[in-house]
């Protein structure tokens, strides 16, 4: 019987998973408030060991159409000008891989090839498992000597049309910023306003 990789890494969220309740749906299973999709949960359902507010050098942008929330999805471009407030969760490599699988609407599986990739270290700090929305893993730094990894798309901020996120999604992002940084909803709205395409008047 296959076992999960128990080595610890920092999973860094810049989107809805900054909310502890939303991330819990990927670990324990369930549907996030305001979402449309039920998640099966990770093979290891224990909570993160720690979490910490971090700041990434790249930029968040919104594109595509979310199956879970409707409206645009948050992506991270490590090579575009930032900064980006984010939240890091100390989890096992196995949990990280299971979160990544569910981001692509797949069930977590034993012997996921991404486990071996993460354990070996990302060549060049980046690994693309496929062309999907959240199939590119980027190392965004280290915290207490442990790698910080985030999940995004293979496309860059400047190469795709941008789309506005829906209110339930924005509310969940704001919840994560409040929990990790003490931001008010007004401050979160202002931050995202600068990253959301403006509708014609």
Tens digit of pLDDT per residue, the chain (201 long)? 356 667 999 999 999 999 999 999 999 999 999 999 999 999 999 999 999 999 999 999 999 999 899 999 999 999 999 899 999 999 999 999 999 999 999 999 988 999 999 999 988 899 998 877 899 999 999 999 999 999 999 999 999 999 999 999 999 999 999 999 999 999 999 999 888 866 544
Rounded to the nearest 10 degrees, the angle between the axes of helix 113-120 and helix 93-103 is: 130
Global pTM exceeds 0.85: yes
Q: Assess if CATH 3.10.490.10 describes domain 8-193.
A: yes
Separation of alpha carbons 153 and 32, rounded Å: 22
């Amino acid at each position: 019987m296959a076992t999960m990789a128990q080595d610890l890494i920092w999973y860094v969220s810049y989107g809805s998973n900054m909310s502890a309740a939303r991330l819990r749906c990927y670990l324990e299973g369930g549907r996030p408030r305001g979402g449309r999709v039920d998640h099966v949960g990770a093979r290891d359902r224990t909570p993160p060991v720690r979490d910490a507010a971090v700041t990434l050098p790249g930029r968040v942008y919104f594109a595509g159409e979310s199956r879970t929330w409707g409206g645009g999805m948050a992506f991270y471009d490590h090579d575009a000008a930032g900064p980006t407030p984010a939240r890091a969760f100390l989890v096992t490599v196995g949990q990280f891989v299971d979160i990544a699988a569910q981001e692509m609407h797949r069930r977590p599986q034993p012997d996921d090839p991404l486990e071996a990739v993460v354990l070996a270290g990302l060549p060049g700090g980046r690994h693309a498992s496929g062309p999907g929305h959240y199939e590119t893993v980027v190392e965004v730094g280290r915290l207490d000597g442990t790698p910080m990894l985030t999940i995004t798309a293979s496309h860059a901020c400047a190469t795709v049309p941008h789309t506005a996120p829906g209110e339930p999604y924005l509310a969940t992002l704001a919840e994560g910023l409040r929990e990790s940084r003490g931001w008010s909803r007004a401050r979160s709205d202002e931050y995202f306003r600068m990253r959301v395409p403006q509708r014609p008047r």
